[in-house]
Chain A
Amino acid sequence: MLSAFDNFPALLIWLPLIGGVIAFLLKNEGSVKTWALFSSIMTLIVMGVSLMYTEPKDYLLNQVSYIWLKDLGSSFGLMLDGMSRILCLLTAISFPLIFAATWNTHYKTPNAFYGLMLLTQCGLMGVFLATDALVFYFFWELALIPVYFLASRWGGEKRIQAAFKFFIYTFAGSLLLLIGILYIYLKTPNQSFSLVSFYNTTLTIQEQGWLFWLFFIAFAIKMPVFPFHTWQPDAYEQSTSAVTMVLSGIMVKMGVFALIRWLIPLFPDAVKSYDNIVIGLAVVGMIYASCIAMVQDDLKRLVAYSSIAHIGLMCAAVFTLDHEAMQGVMVQMFSHGINIIGLWIVVELIEQQTGVRKISELGGVAQKAPILAIMLVIIALANVALPLTNAFVGEFLMFSGLFRFNIWYAAVAGLSIILSAVYTLNMIKNVFYGNTNTLTETFREITVNQRVILAVIVVLVFMVGVYPGPMFQLVEQTTDVILKRISAK
């Protein structure tokens, strides 16, 4: 019975791919939207079934490997281990939410929009599932191409430049990654791209030193970590909301994921010698981004900078190589994705009704839309990592890891929590409370559909916040595997 489910990983890639191609062929706007939602829900169902019927500790059984380029030593290898599960689950949950939340937005050429969105989902799934370095690189790039088109075709005035900047940055980074991959490939004993061969390759300390930076820069641009973050606020601000949600909710996790899956286990010695530099950068970035977030007047830019701060913490926590911090990072990747998508949905709802995103021009929304306000406050507090919310679990573990690593880093990074409370609460105060003005005078309460979507997010926030056990069971195995590798070296 179970052997029939071995193909889950492949299914998670094929479903969005086929869905995306079909979406391109549909002409009618309504049917494209329905199809995209349906297709993404199908993917979610498959994801759910795979979680039910397979165990993370059996991840070796859930591997798929098709012979692809035999002469090159590359095979189309996929696996669903603990960390893949968490991130695939995030991807699978996010897309239906995004489609539903932006249901009322009208796009020119909707078939292309939804087709590209589903192709992005396919690329993201591939990145999270790949066990072959070449396949990983393929999906890493393929996730980027549809997003580039999405961000350039739909969005604000300056979207073309913003998307191009984003593309050039990440593409340059991934070319460095390619060189690194090829170098290790030539060093593997059996000339193979598979994860196992990569893990079994011994590299000298000097080699690890520069390979580390090739990989790290590629991943740091994606996350983004200070000082590689300059593409991000522009890209988030200029993209249309659905694309911003994909970018910030899921795409940035590619970087953190890749750190844990590829960088840390491949270059353990280099990680130990450069950990202070990286954590230092990450911590500086956190404070820097939080400070900028405080003075932002644009809602989208505020959320964008808050995202840089959160990702910075994840990056720092990964490099502590602390068992609990690592688990925290993995759970936090999921929680952060959910929370930030929730925040974007609220921003989108406000912008839809008032037409502005300027904090200074809004006010008193809570009087007109109390339910929206309640939902927002919950999501915003989750973003600040209040206890009982999902982010608390992850951030607490990450901070405790950082604390054990070096108390000063933890102290400085801790400031960002306070700062994040400052700008988040400030935003709530100015947008939702106070007196209404001409713009918000006519603000209507959100519809039932919108309530349901936000309610799903709120439920997820509390579910993980109150009972995070299942999440930790998922990620425990990956953490063990990765950290055992490092201590063995």
Chain B
Amino acid sequence: MNAIILSAIWGVVMMYTGVVTKKKSTPKVVAILGILLLITANWLEYAGLPFFNVHTGGMLAFTSFGLVFNLVAFTATLFYFLLSGSDMEDVGDNVADYFALIFFVLCGVSIATSFASLLMLFLGIEIMTIPLYILAASDKRNLKSNEAALKYFLMGTFSTGLMLMGIAFLYGASGTFYTEGLNLGFGSLTPMVMAGMVLLMISMAFKVSAAPFHFWTPDVYDGTPTVFTSFMATIVKAAAFIAFLRLFENAFGKMHSEWQLLIAIITALTLIIGNLTAVFQQSVKRMLAYSSIAQAGFMLLAVFALNNTGKQGLILYAAAYSLATIGVFAVLIKMKDYTFEGFNGLAKYQPLLAALLTIFLLSLAGIPLTAGFFAKYYMLVAALKNGQMFWLVIVGILSAAVSIYYYFRVIQAMYFKEGKDPEIHVSEGFKTILLVAALIIIILGIHPDWLLNLLNN
């Protein structure tokens, strides 16, 4: 509850910051303060000290799973602000508003990780995405940004419509919005429940950009100002996954075997399409968009398996994937040339940046000693523990092998090819924060249990 209320309040505070001060750098400082406050408040709630006691009628449930994910999401946002906060100033004039919108997104994230009622799920997802429509269009004079926002908006509202329809069907069938109260067992698979569940699955697949509902993703990610793509592709996507998992665990967990094949097909398609298309990209930004689809495929394994290992893995995956992707984007924003050739010879001119970027890419590729390895490890173990559909694990493994190709293309460009100085100007502080992010990735790659033990509270 702490996070939901405080993030909403801080969003308003941010808006006033824009009115009170005209200095461009102030909003960033206020935003960082706000995110630190959110982390602390969320931690206190996790430790058993909620500030607010709101009677929600059981529509929200604060579990350690949701709270730990909030912690991961907020920490990733902190890194995002520290690394890319000042780049928002280049997008447009309304810097404070961008930060405010991001805080509203975080409010939606906190609802989506704690809903116990389908209405709250709907609210959470909507609060999460509506600010993103605006952020996608924030580069007002850029045609691509406008196009991205419009596409995102149309696709987003369409999938929201499907979600509402699904919720209505389920309500019609069971007479309740509570996920636990739906009480859907093996026997209750009436056509109405089936329709409601499939609609919910499709709409959630839209939100997490799973194939075959992923077509909006590359264009939207590509057109949106890079600094916001970074946020959209990481924290928001991971939060949507948490909502996906919670929904299917609480509401449809008892009829797991009925929908498992469907989700397995979606997972396999996402893995194959995401990875194979990423191979052919010429721009690193578009490659990252497709890689986010491919990584979503791996995260879907948690929904497929629906066991404790999968839940742990999803938390770790969210942390590993978000941190690494934010790191790569933070460097990408500083580049003028987004193609692979733009990275040629970077190691010569910016040895530290190149080394850190390599760690992030190795983590995304799932090489041992990085958090990305254990993230994939947990997903594979979860899927194997499930015991069904072994072919899905093989598809996962093969697509992980394919992903090496496009992640290593960046490494190759940086280290083994000659290029001219890209003239990147980054401060020492930026490098330090990037270094800390890389260290966290390595530490989680050696001791993932340090994060996951938090779940046992």
**Is A462 positioned at the interface, with any CB of B under 8 Å from its CB?**
no
What is the CA–CA distance of A172 and B380 in the complex, to the nearest angstrom?
15
Known contacts A138-B368, A152-B415; is-contact A69 B404 (Cβ 8 Å): no
A103 to chain B, nearest CB (A): 25
- Are A152 and B368 touching (Cβ within 8 A)? no
Q: Which of A71, A72, A145, A179 contacts B397 (CB 8 A)?
A: A179
Stretch at the interface among B98-106, B231-239, B445-453: B445-453
Please, which residues of chain A bring their CB within 8 A of the CB of B368?
A: 137-138, 141-142
CB atoms of A171 and B412 under 8 A apart: no
Residues of A within 8 A of B436 (CB): none
- The answer to whether B412 and A179 touch across the interface, beta carbons within 8 angstroms, is no
Q: Is B426 an interface residue (CB 8 A)?
A: no
Q: How far is the CA of A168 from the CA of B381 in the complex (A)?
A: 23
Does any Cβ of B come within 8 Å of A178's Cβ?
A: yes
A226 interface residue, CB < 8 Å from B?
Answer: no
In the complex, what residue of chain B is closest to A108 when comparing beta carbons?
A: B348
Contact of A69 among B367, B408, B412, B449 (CB under 8 A): B449
Instruction: Say yes or no: is A486 at the interface (Cβ < 8 Å to chain B).
Output: no
A138 touches B401 (CB 8 A): no
A422–B412 alpha-carbon span in the complex (Å): 40
B380, closest chain A residue (CB) = A182
With CB as the reference atom, state the residue of chain A lying closest to B400: A175
> Are A179 and B415 touching (Cβ within 8 A)?
no
**CB atoms of A179 and B405 under 8 A apart:** no
Are B404 and A71 within 8 A (Cβ)? no
The contact of B412 among A145, A160, A182, by CB within 8 Å, is: A160
Looking at the complex, which one of B384, B398, B452 makes contact with A186 (CB distance below 8 Å)? B384
Question: Would you call B404 and A171 a contact (CB within 8 A)?
Answer: yes
Chain B residues, CB < 8 A from A168: 401, 404-405
CA distance A331 to B40 in the complex (A): 61
For residue B123, CB closer than 8 A to chain A, the reply is no
Query: Which residues from 400 to 457 on chain B have a C-beta closer than 8 Å to any C-beta of chain A?
Result: 400-401, 404-405, 408, 412, 415-417, 447-449, 452-453
**Chain A residues near B369 (CB, 8 Å)?**
138, 142
B362 close to chain A: CB less than 8 A:
yes
In the complex, what distance in Å separates the CA atom of A122 from the CA atom of B276? Answer: 34
What's the nearest-Cβ distance from chain B to residue A68, in Å?
Answer: 8
CA distance A175 to B381 in the complex (A): 13
CA distance A153 to B397 in the complex (A): 28
Kindly state whether residue A149 has any CB partner on chain B within 8 Å: yes
- Distance to closest chain B CB from A312 (angstroms): 25
Q: Is B393 an interface residue (CB 8 A)?
A: yes
Flag if B367 contacts A145 (CB, 8 Å).
yes
* Interface residues as binary, B267-306 with A (CB distance below 8 Å gives 1, 0 otherwise): 0000000000000000000000000000000000000000
Minimum CB distance partner of B415 in chain A = A153
**Of A69, A142, A145, A178, the contact of B448 (CB 8 Å cutoff):** A69
Alpha-carbon separation in the docked complex, A179 to B449 (Å): 21
Tell me if B401 and A175 are in contact (CB < 8 A).
yes
In whole angstroms, what is the CA distance A141 to B393 when docked?
Answer: 20
Q: Which residues of B contact A14 (CB under 8 A)?
A: none
- Interface assignment of B140: CB less than 8 Å from any CB of chain A: no
Is B404 within 8 A of A167, CB to CB? Answer: yes
A253 CA to B226 CA, complexed, in Å:
47
| Docked-complex contact B405 and A186, CB < 8 angstroms | no
Which residues in B have their C-beta under 8 angstroms from that of A145? 362, 367
CA of A171 to CA of B401 in the docked complex: distance in angstroms?
Answer: 7
Q: Cβ of A178 and Cβ of B447 under 8 Å apart?
A: no
Q: Does B385 contact A (CB under 8 A)?
A: yes
The reply to whether B394 and A72 form a contact with Cβ atoms under 8 Å apart is no
The answer to whether the Cβ of A483 comes within 8 Å of any Cβ in the partner chain is: no
CA distance A137 to B367 in the complex (A): 11
Are A152 and B412 in contact, with the CB atoms below 8 A?
yes
A240 to B381, CA, bound (A): 39
Whether A179 and B393, one on each chain, are in contact in the complex, defined by CB atoms closer than 8 angstroms, is yes
Q: Which chain B residues lie closer than 8 Å to A186 at the CB level? A: 381, 384-385
Cβ of A159: which chain B residues have Cβ within 8 Å of it? 416
**B contact residues around A70 at 8 Å (CB):** 449
Q: Mark A162-199, 1 if CB is under 8 A from B, else 0.
A: 00100110011001101100110110000000000000
**B404 touching A72, Cβ below 8 Å:** no
**Complex: how many Å from CA A70 to CA B448?**
11
* A161 to chain B: closest residue by CB: B412
Name which of B394, B408, B417, B453 has the most chain A CB atoms within 10 A of its CB: B408
Contact residues of B between 366 and 388, Cβ < 8 Å to A: 367-369, 377, 380-381, 384-385
Closest to B409 in A: A164
Instruction: Tell whether, in the assembled complex, residue B412 and residue A164 are in contact, meaning their CB atoms are under 8 Å apart.
Output: yes
Return chain B residues, CB-CB under 8 Å to A179.
380, 384, 393-394, 397
B412 and A71 contacting across the interface, CB-CB below 8 Å: no
CB distance from A168 to the nearest CB of B (A): 6
Q: Which residues of chain B have C-beta atoms less than 8 A from A72's C-beta?
A: 449
Cα–Cα distance between A433 and B449 once the two chains are bound (Å): 64
CA distance A145 to B408 in the complex (A): 11
Q: Does B367 lie within 8 Å of A141, measured CB to CB?
A: yes
Q: Do A172 and B416 touch across chains, with their CB atoms under 8 A apart?
A: no
Least CB distance from B361 to A in Å reads: 12
Q: Find chain B residues with CB under 8 A from A69 CB.
A: 447-449
B108 to chain A minimum Cβ distance, whole angstroms, is 32
CB-CB nearest in chain B for A152: B416
Check if B416 sits within 8 Å of A182, measured CB to CB: no
Evaluate contact between A178 and B416: CB separation under 8 angstroms. Answer: no
Residues of B within 8 A of A160 (CB): 412, 416-417
Q: Which residue of B lies closest to A69 (CB)?
A: B449
In the bound assembly, the distance between CA atoms of A31 and B55 in angstroms comes to 69
Minimum CB–CB distance from B379 to chain A (whole Å) comes to 11
Q: With A and B bound together, what is the CA distance between A70 and B447 in angstroms?
A: 10
- In the docked arrangement, what's the CA distance between A371 and B345, Å? 44
Asked if A178 and B405 make an inter-chain contact with CB atoms under 8 angstroms apart, the answer reads no
A160 to B405, CA, bound (A): 13
Considering the chains assembled together, what is the distance between the CA atoms of A69 and B377 in angstroms? Answer: 13
The distance from the CB of A140 to the nearest CB of chain B, in whole angstroms, is 8
Quick check: A71 and B449 within 8 Å, CB to CB?
yes
- With A and B bound together, what is the CA distance between A72 and B452 in angstroms? 11
Cβ contacts under 8 Å, A137 to chain B: 368
Instruction: Specify which chain B residues have a CB less than 8 angstroms from the CB of A141 in the assembled complex.
Output: 367-368
Q: Is the CB of A183 within 8 A of B452?
A: no
Complex CA gap A179/B369 in Å reads: 18
Query: How many angstroms from the CA of A70 to the CA of B385 in the assembled complex?
Result: 19
Check A172–B401 contact: CB distance below 8 A.
yes
Could you say which residues of chain A place their CB within 8 Å of the CB of B415? 149, 152-153
User: Which residues of B pack against A, CB within 8 Å?
Assistant: 362, 367-369, 377, 380-381, 384-385, 393-394, 397-398, 400-401, 404-405, 408, 412, 415-417, 447-449, 452-453
User: Which of A's residues lie within 8 Å of B, judged by CB?
Assistant: 69-72, 137-138, 141-142, 145, 149, 152-153, 159-160, 164, 167-168, 171-172, 175-176, 178-179, 182-183, 185-186
Known: A152-B415, A167-B408, A179-B384. 15 other contacts (CB 8 A): A138-B368, A142-B369, A152-B412, A152-B416, A153-B416, A164-B412, A175-B401, A178-B397, A179-B393, A182-B380, A182-B381, A183-B384, A186-B381, A186-B384, A186-B385
Can you report 9 residue pairs joining A to B where beta carbons are below 8 Å apart? A69-B448, A71-B453, A138-B369, A152-B415, A159-B416, A160-B416, A172-B401, A183-B384, A186-B384
Q: Which A-B residue pairs are the 9 nearest by beta carbons?
A: A172-B401, A138-B368, A141-B368, A175-B397, A152-B416, A160-B416, A71-B449, A175-B401, A171-B404
